[in-house]
Amino acid sequence: MSIQELTTGLPAPKPLRLGETALFLDLDGTLAPIAARPQDVRPDPRRTSLLERLTLRLEGRLAVVSGRALGDVDRILENCVASVAAVHGLVRRTPDGQVFRTAPHAGLTKAAEGFRAFATRDSGLIVEEKAGLSVALHFRLASRHAEAARACARELAAATGLALQDGDMVEELRTPGASKGDSVRAFMAQAPFAGSLPVFVGDDTTDEDGFKAALALGGFGVSVGAPRATAARFRLAGVDAALAWLEAAS
């Protein structure tokens, strides 16, 4: 089935069968509401408790796959998830605590300087540097600069050779390398994930590689939020619906 065929009318997913599932979860827009500033997302007892229960019932077959830096994921989730792919897959921590990092791209300094110069236009423009591997320009609080921000990101991508990652009111320039889909495949090749059916839950275009990887490995994707073109097979209306669906299985 094509992405176009999946654009509208996606059903809600059926209850999870945890005994055969490996669960891959995005963070912002999936487990936590999108905040105006990335630093405004904080730990939440309900979310932490849910992830702890799911990890136990899944016998460790749970990973968070996020665009955030690894330290930021751990801060928000209170270190309750061992397996994490951060910076869209450029950093990956395995269940036993090993951390694999992509070498940083030489163009990141120029990209960060370019974003910081652009951000002087408005106090609502926020530059976020991620673990020396990526730099993002957030414009949720300065939406009138959205088109100019996107143009700036495209120009810097062309000038530096960095990969351009479009997001929800954010443009990110990242070291070329592993994607969220690559992270799913890497986790699924090792214990305790191997042999299970992957389910990837995410909210925007940065999660499409994860949806496609899950589908190719016999599982499926769940899109969170408003209907859009997606490779996911199911959809949940928002963060509250996603948490409720996960809680029903936990």
Q: Which residues pair with 136 in a beta bridge?
A: 128, 172
26 tagged catalytic? yes
Question: Of 172, 156, 61, 151, which Cα lies nearest the Cα of 107?
Answer: 156
* Cα distance between residue 237 and residue 132, in whole Å: 34
Place of tokens 């062309």: 158
What is the token pair recorded at 172?
A: 């990110």
Catalytic residue among 26, 28, 204, 207: 26
The catalytic site residues sit at 26
